[in-house]
Structures are given as structure tokens and as C-alpha cells.
Structure 1
Amino acid sequence: MNPDAKRITGEPAMAILFEDNHLLGVEKPVNIPTQEDASGDPDLLNLLKNDLKERYQKPGNVFLGLVHRLDRPVGGAMIFAKTSKAASRLAEAVRSRNFSKTYVAVVHGIPPQRQGSLTDTLLKDERTNTVSVVPKGTPGGKEARLEYKVLGTSAKDQLSLVQVELHTGRPHQIRVQMSQIGCPLYGDQKYGTTYNKPGQQIALWSLYVGFPHPITKDQVDLVSLPPHIHPWSLWEEGVYGRLAALVKSGGHGLEN
């Protein structure tokens, strides 16, 4: 990402990708929960609320609406709403699929097709916080749909770089669906235990989030490139920049 981008100081420091009176877009650091959970660890939502309170010297509670989520080990672009009106309108944009999200992931092996779409029924076990693929019609199961495209492969490492577009937003969706086709994500300790070693960081990144501004209707584009460390560094940084530019221009790279 742009090294000159404005940053939120403190621990952890994070880049501000977009901010006005209605919205706050940031680059979520890895290994921080999006919102408060049973771990009791500092969460992104409250960290950002505290930052807004300090930066703008706001008395009392600060409103910040959670529009979408990223799993704890996942980093990248996220948008939050600073007003209830913006939160309501962004929630409607998500429901009406007028809210685009593009992810990049490094997976083990090579997907059976270089480009494809996956549709599964997923069921979440709240007790274990795990998700599994179940037969269609299973009580509590929800349909999950995504498209993917292989952007590159590393034969030596037996890894592939894939672009993923979500059409539904189910918990752990990318991780579960890619594992289901025999290509679990690099570093995923929940859905790729036979492939990954303890301590490896999951290679899933929110590259792009785009939507019409809830108030002005202007297009808002958030871009966050993954860190240039293994396994992301197996591919040149230009791969991520070109993909981000493509999706910003209205293309998705999934048509050819």
C-alpha cells in the first residue's frame, strides 16, 4: 500500500485508506478480532472507536458501525460507518450486492480448474467456531457462493495464488470452500491442518472493497496490498497492484 498513507498511531499502528464525516476505511492488521470476542483481546472496532474519540476529542461514546467482517487472522481493507445513516445505507448496499469485495489467497496445490465458481451449503458449529460443508437442505445450513481465478502457481512450493470474489458472506467461507476442493489456504490452522505447520500465518487478504458512498453516491475504492513476505513474495508485487487497478476500473479479472 501507499507508504505515505495517513496512519493511526498506537498499538497496533494501521493505515487509514479513506476517511470523511461518514466513513472510515482502514487496513486491518492480522491477528486482531474485528469485534469483541471470547478471547477478551483488543478488537478492531473498539480500537478505532477509541482512536476517533482521542483524535477528535469527542465526549461520551463514539458511534462506529460494523459493515462487514474479516476473520481474526485475515488482514486488509475494511470499511466502517461513522454515522447510523451511513451504516444503514451500507448494510442495504451489502444486501443488494452493490458492495464489492475482492480477496487474494495463497492455497496449497492447484485448483482443479484455473477459473471456476463454487456453491456449497455451509453449517457453523457455534460451540467449536468451525464451519463445515453439509448436504443441501440441512437445517441451519446456508448457501455459500464464490468465484475464483488462479493468478499464478509456484511449482517448487506447490502453491497457487488465487483471486476470490464473494457472492455471499458466510463465516470462514473462502477457507472452507477452497479446502473442500482440496486446496486449503496456506497457514490455515482450522481447515488445513494436514498441510500447514503451527505458527504459520494464514495467507488470505482483503485486497479491495468498493461501493457507492452512502451519502454522496460517489464511488469509494479501498485498496490494500498484502505484505511482501512469504508466501506473498513468491509472486512479484506488480501482480497485486495490477489486479487492484483492474477491479477499481470495474473489471474483475474473472471473465477470461
Structure 2
Amino acid sequence: MSDSLRILHRDDHLVAVHKPAGLLVHRTALARGEHQFLLQRLRDQLGQRVYPVHRLDRPTSGVMVFALNSAVAAKLTDTFTQRRVTKRYLAVVRGVGPEGERLDTPLREEDGSRHKAEMPAMEAITDVSRLDSVELPVQVDRYPRSRYSLMEARPLTGRRHQIRRHLASRGYPIIGDAKHGKGNHNRFFAERLEAPRLLLAAVSLAFDHPMEESRLELDCALDTTMTALFNRFGWAGHLPVDSARSMELARS
């Protein structure tokens, strides 16, 4: 793992970086024995304190935003809590996913603190669409050929493992998802396609800048594992690139 994190954007108030897959954002009670955390690495790289304002699951890669002081952190946290952020993810799933669909099955929280039956079902909404697909002449499951899709997911709520659970519930589990996916397909990608990780990446965030009259749009390139897989499957045209755009907000 490289010591240097990829900086996507930095100004006087916030910083956006690419979070590598497999890296925890910060210490938790479940992180016993872990020594590497995104928060610590970014702090050391910048030489100043940073404040997390949202989360990404450990196996998920992609764009994350941190505030550079507590006042900005409070504003950004409110922006995420109030769902005033546009999020875009890319995922590789088993099967040929729907061309466009809103998944709105309510989800119970998965925090490990209580039995799931004791947790209330919460509103959860994810818009998904199939961008591409591929058919391989390999029998992984019971069929002689195996089909996979590149899905775009735009979550409108922020439940834990929301995209993973919604896609799995529709029969299109994300490759590399040990909890909600299928082991034979996960092993095939790990052993034959050099993709031993969850194939889910946060590739875009857009939100109103907390201290400026502008909307900040951030795009994040995929890591080497997913980039190589996209090239192998003929999906290179869907590869995002690192970019940061600031657009002035229209005055009313």
C-alpha cells in the first residue's frame, strides 16, 4: 500500500482524497489489530488535523471528503445528513442488471449492536442503471457461460451497506462481497481475473461548498485492480478520471 494518498482537491476549508480499498477510515471497536487508518495517514501527509464528515465501507474505494476545521466539519456533516449531496458509484455485479430501476426496499441497520429483528426497517433508496455487460465462455455457476454487468448506483439515502444489500436483494450481488455475494463468483474473479476485492467504488461526489458560493463536483479514477478489469472487459469508455470542478451557484 502506497504511503501517499491521492489528493483530488484541497482548499483552505476541505480536502478530498481517494480512499484505497481495504483501508479503514478511522479506529473503531472492531478494528483491533489494525495499524493503518485513512484519517491518520491523511493527517500525517498534510501535517494537520482533518475531520471526517461521511463514511465509506472498508472494502469500498473512492472519493472521500474531510474538513480542515471543526466549523467546516459541522457544516459538511449537516450537508451529508440532510442528503444535499449527489453520490455516484460503479459496481461490477453478477448477471445482466436492469437498465434503470429505483430500489427502495427498507433496510434494517447492520451495526452488530443488536439482533437484526430488534432493529427498525429504515427508508433506503438507490437508483441503479446498467452501463455495460460482458459474457464469458466460462462455467462458474450452473450455466456454461457467465454474465456480469457494470452498474451505476446513485444512493439517495445512506444506510450501511445500502448499495450492496439492494443489488443483492434483486439478484445482482456485487463481485467480491463476502457477506451478500456468492463465493464461487468471488473466487473466480480473485483467482482468474486478479480482482480479489469488493468491486464497488465511489467515483463522484457533488455538494455545495460550505464556505463559498459554489457547487463542488469531484470525480475519482478507479484503482489499478478495477481499471485493469474494465480494460479486460472492454469497458474502458466508462473509466472515470480524477477531476474537481467548482461551479458558481446561481443567485436568487
TM-score (norm 2): 0.79
What is the aligned partner in structure 2 of residue 117 from structure 1? 102
When structure 1 is superposed on structure 2, of 99-108 and 36-45 the one drifting more is: 36-45
Any idea what the Cα deviations from partners look like across 1:46-99, whole Å, max 9, x if unmatched?
21122222xxxx5xxx2x221111111111111111111211111222233221
What is the aligned partner in structure 1 of residue 237 from structure 2? 238
1:219 maps to 2:209: no
Any idea what the Cα deviations from partners look like across 1:170-192, whole Å, max 9, x if unmatched?
11111111011111001111111
Where does the alignment leave 5 or more consecutive residues of structure 1 unmatched?
Answer: 1-9, 250-256
Deviation at 1:239, TM superposition (A): 1.6
Pairs within 5 Å for 1:161-180: 161-180=150-169
Pairs within 5 Å for 1:82-231: 82-111=68-97, 113-127=98-112, 139-156=119-136, 157-194=146-183, 195-197=185-187, 200-227=196-223, 228-230=227-229
Letter in 1 for 2:37: D
The share of aligned pairs that are identical, in percent, is 27
Q: Partners of 1:93 and 1:125 in 2: how far apart?
A: 23
Deviation at 1:128, TM superposition (A): 8.5
> Would the alpha carbon gap of residues 87 and 128 (structure 1) be closer, same or farther in structure 2, given more than 3 Å must change?
closer
> Would the alpha carbon gap of residues 70 and 235 (structure 1) be closer, same or farther in structure 2, given more than 3 Å must change?
farther
> What CA RMSD, in Å, does the superposition of the two structures yield over aligned residues?
2.8
Q: Partners of 2:4 and 2:232 in 1: how far apart?
A: 22
Any idea what the Cα deviations from partners look like across 1:115-169, whole Å, max 9, x if unmatched?
100012222343399x97x8xxx74322211000100010224100011001011
Letter in 2 for 1:193: K
> Would the alpha carbon gap of residues 210 and 148 (structure 1) be closer, same or farther in structure 2, given more than 3 Å must change?
same
Q: Partners of 1:22 and 1:165 in 2: how far apart?
A: 26
Q: 2:24 aligns with which of 15, 27, 33?
A: 33
When structure 1 is superposed on structure 2, of 226-235 and 19-28 the one drifting more is: 226-235
1:42 maps to 2:36: yes
Query: Is the contact made by 1:25 and 1:78 (CA closer than 8 Å) also made in structure 2?
Result: yes
Q: Partners of 2:246 and 2:68 in 1: how far apart?
A: 23
